[in-house]
Amino acid sequence: MHLSFIDWAIVFAYLVVSMGIGVYMSRRAGRSTDDFFLSGRKLPWYIAGTSMVATTFAADTPLAVSELVAQNGIAGNWLWWNMLFGGMLTVFFFARLWRRADILTDTEFVKIRYSGSEARFLRGFRAVYIGVVMNTVVIAWVNLAMVKILEVMFPELTFFGQSKFEVLGITFSSHLVMVALLMVFVAIYSALSGLWGVSITDSFQFVMAMGGSIVLAVFAVRQVGGIEQVKEQLSSVPWVFDFFPEVGRGEVSGRGGLLKMSVVAFVAYLGVQWWASWYPGAEPGGGGYVAQRMMSAKDEKHSLLATLWFQVAHYAVRPWPWILVALCALILYPNEADKGATYVMMIRDLMPAGLLGLLLAAFFAAYMSTIASQTVWGTSYIVNDLFRPFVKKNASERYYVRVSRITTFLLMLFSLIVTTQFSRISDAWKFVLACSGGIGLVLLLRWFWWRINAWSELAAMVAPYIIYPILKYKYQLDFETSLILIVVWSTLVWLLVTLLTPPTHMDTLKSFYAKVHPGGIGWKPVAVQMPGVKGDTGYGRLFANWILGCILVLLALFGTGKIIFKEYQSGIIYLVLAIVVVSGGIVLNRKSNIW
């Protein structure tokens, strides 16, 4: 593939702007860890929310959607659309609580919610397990996707005439070396600017990535002759256009007929996964970089609105350009075995000079926004929840900022090494979902049930590893069945542990309730001792908001899709119903202060 001067100029300009933002924001971020990791808690909702969207717009996402559409049609996207239910739960039940908690990381939650030596251990354990182990696995699968992109775009890439390099017994391909250079670039501006620069850069990168996706979708549809031709040339596989899978017996399969999702798969994805498993960007109750953005918002309302915008943009705005390209790729590359790579092939083969550079820059933007957010978030765990409380207490804020900047580089280096140990992206995300099965209910209930303690979380985090190897290697069960069994097992374990261990000290529970005042029947034993603290109420209204929010996003998603496929009548009906839902939400909340 040949890039013209204008293509390279566009890519270079994008990199200059990204670095310029980092340099510009470096002084503000260097004041304190609060500024470095939470932007001084001054982010407006539209910046915080867009930063969440940009982080989930990783380089691997369009490739994964292409694979899902090729294998299971549009309905295959329910494998990640199901996470909307958990995300919308975060919007109305947890966003304001996270902002109210006034902590630096979601792991610091352990400090204000639990007591005893077990709480101290849990905080350090989470910092290593989530901030280092799980975080580097996530970065690894994003790196693998970027390697695949570079392999398609630059198949003969070499450095100093070499296509492979060996360092300390670890082999790096030239494409992975290129990824390493991108990571160094990201590390520089992330270390300089912290969340201030990452959030502003994320917004710029999201516009780049989304714009590039739309441009590619337009060219792809034109290449096959328009939407009608897309439908005509795929008429032999009409199931590919179905928005909903058929639930029945058998495995998840779409080849050769109407897509059928087994009952077990349906229960696993739509009934269990969204609330039971930890997954970056879709943690039950919020967490990770999503919690980081909620805590960095100006106030509780900005926190809620940021998370709401994230759900709308993530599920209703972004998918269709990817889906259209995936459908066109089925026509243009019918015999290509690697369906994920066909998305990149479309860029390589269809984009003219100038736009080719724009799409390449868009992919860099998608990749870099995710890497920047993951590393700043992971660094916040390492510094705030491991280094500060266990290694060096009571140092100056500027000292901790310096440590944070160094840690950013070290975390990226470790992530690069981990990348060499994975061969397939699906291996990584299935591992994450399965080995976090069961923790979700604890993450939800710890806000609303006083009896949850540090042992509950520890048990829920460790329990999956006891049964996972047995299910995978001895019985060789499929992922969906394994997930359900792991969730049942883990839930039984943590419930038993909770009831057999002493509760959190009452003084800690009172302090937490006074600060967060979540309300609800689960806090009654604590609330009766604190008559001067008014707990939250109106949970019926919040539940109704959750239902309406999910319906709104799905109506907008499907209505947009129907309009794109020129099914105007049904599309308009969907969108009109979406407007009705919005109106209902306004009426429901007119006397509340939720907005």
Give the ranges where 421-523 is alpha helix by DSSP (H).
425-435, 439-445, 454-469, 479-500, 506-516
| Domains of the chain, residue spans | 5-272+282-424, 436-503
Secondary-structure class of domain 5-272+282-424 per CATH? mainly alpha
| Residues 256, 262, 266: CA angle, nearest 5 degrees | 125
Residue 346 pLDDT? 92
One DSSP character per residue, 238-265 reads GGGG-SSPEEESS-SB-TTSS-EEEHHH
Nearest to 452 by CA among 442, 462, 461: 442
Max CA pair span of the chain: 74
Low-confidence ranges of the chain (pLDDT < 70): 1, 28-31, 168-169, 247-262, 422-429, 593-595
- Cβ atoms of 560 and 573 closer than 8 Å: no
| Alpha-carbon span 511 to 487, nearest angstrom | 32
Q: How many CB atoms lie within 10 A of CB 262?
A: 19
Structure token pair of residue 277: 């498993």
Instruction: DSSP for 1-26, please give it.
Output: ----HHHHHHHHHHHHHHHHHHHHHH
Note the pLDDT of residue 527. Answer: 94
| pLDDT value at residue 540 | 92
DSSP code of residue 502? P
E strands present in 126-262? 164-167, 170-173, 246-248, 260-262
Q: What is the pLDDT of residue 492?
A: 96
Q: Which pLDDT score is estimated for 510?
A: 96
Q: Can you list the positions of beta strands (E) in 193-296?
A: 246-248, 260-262
What is the spatial distance between Cα 303 and Cα 291, in angstroms, rounded to a whole number? 9
Contact 288, 377 (CB under 8 A): yes
At 362-411, the pLDDT tens digits run: 888 888 888 888 888 888 888 889 888 988 888 888 888 888 888 888 88
Task: Give the C-alpha distances (Å, rounded to integers) separating 551 from 199, 349, 361, 547, 583.
Answer: 29, 38, 35, 6, 13
Q: CA-CA distance, 131 to 388, in Å (whole number)?
A: 15
First and final CA of the chain: distance in angstroms? 50
Phi-psi region of 270 (alpha: psi -120 to 50; beta: other; left: phi over 0): alpha
How far is C-alpha 548 from the geometric centre of its chain's CA atoms?
Answer: 22
pTM metric for this prediction: 0.88
| Token digits of residue 545 | 């908001």
Q: Residue 320 in 3-state DSSP?
A: helix
The CA distances from residue 128 to 120, 125, 131, 376, 378, in Å, are 13, 5, 5, 14, 9
Helix axes 479-500, 454-469, angle to 10 degrees: 140
Name residue 296's amino acid.
Answer: S
Question: Tell me, what's the pLDDT at 302?
Answer: 93
